[in-house]
Structures are given as structure tokens and as C-alpha cells.
């Protein structure tokens, strides 16, 4: 996968999560408290970090925000 495609995918994930947060009238800090994670880790996960911890956090985010 090219760097451009990785960037596009990360941007799509970020947009999807931010829209879901907006629809639920929730801030990232509230989400962090809800799933018991550090706000900085939440931010990295939302912005497409590919570390195993970020992937795990995104899975939690998808469940909480009902993102398929």
C-alpha cells in the first residue's frame, strides 16, 4: 500500500470517528473516560496510528460509537 493510500485511509477513519462523536455530542476526553484509556492514546488511535494498542483502542471506539 502506498503512503498516499495509508494517509487517505487514516483520514477516513479520523473523519468517521469525529462525525460519530459529534452525532453523540461527545468529546474525545469523555470517550477516553468511557473506555478507560488515556486521552493522548485516544488521539493517536483516532488519527490512524498503527501500533497494536491503537488498533485495540479503535476497536473499543467502534463498539462504543456503533461504527461498523
pLDDT in tens, 15-49: 999 999 999 999 999 999 999 999 999 999 999 99
The set of residues, in sequence order, having a beta carbon less than 8 Å from that of 34 and lying 6+ positions away, is 64
Q: Which pLDDT score, from 0 to 100, does residue 68 have?
A: 78
Domain encompassing residue 34 = 3-65
- Please give the pLDDT value at position 32: 97
pLDDT value, residue 2: 85
Residue 52 CA to residue 66 CA, distance in Å, equals 21
Q: Largest Cα–Cα distance of the chain, in whole Å?
A: 35
Rg (CA), the chain: 12
DSSP, collapsed to helix, strand or coil, labels residue 27 as: coil
Domain count, the chain: 1
pLDDT band at 53 (very low <50, low <70, confident <90, very high): very high
Query: What is the structure's pLDDT at 1?
Result: 57
Q: What is the Cα–Cα distance from 17 to 12, expressed in whole angstroms?
A: 9
Amino acid at each position: 500500500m502506498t503512503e498516499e493510500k495509508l494517509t487517505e485511509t487514516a483520514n477516513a477513519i479520523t473523519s468517521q470517528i469525529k462525525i460519530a462523536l459529534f452525532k453523540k455530542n461527545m468529546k474525545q476526553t469523555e470517550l477516553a473516560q468511557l473506555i478507560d484509556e488515556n486521552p493522548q492514546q485516544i488521539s493517536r488511535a483516532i488519527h490512524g496510528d498503527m501500533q497494536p494498542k491503537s488498533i485495540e483502542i479503535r476497536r473499543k471506539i467502534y463498539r462504543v460509537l456503533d461504527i461498523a
